[in-house]
Amino acid sequence: MPKLKTRKAAAKRYKKTANGNFLRHRAYKGHLLRKKSISQKRRLSLTLCVSPGDSKPIKLMLPY
pLDDT greater than 90 at residue 60? yes
Whether 6 is covered by a domain: the verdict is: yes
The reported pLDDT for the residue numbered 1 is 82
Whether 10 is covered by a domain: the verdict is: yes
Contact criterion met (CB below 8 Å) for 29 and 41: yes
The sign of the CA dihedral 37, 41, 44, 47 is negative
The phi and psi torsions of 15 (rounded to 5 degrees) equal -130, 135
Whether 33 is covered by a domain: the verdict is: no
Domain of residue 20 covers 1-25+41-51
The reported pLDDT for the residue numbered 64 is 84
Number of domains in the chain: 1
The reported pLDDT for the residue numbered 52 is 93
pLDDT digits (tens, 9 = 90+) for 2-55: 999 999 999 999 999 999 999 999 999 999 999 999 999 999 999 999 999 999
Whether 35 is covered by a domain: the verdict is: no
Rg (CA), the chain: 15
Q: How far apart are CA 38 and CA 35, in angstroms?
A: 9
Contact criterion met (CB below 8 Å) for 4 and 59: no
Whether 9 is covered by a domain: the verdict is: yes
Whether 19 is covered by a domain: the verdict is: yes
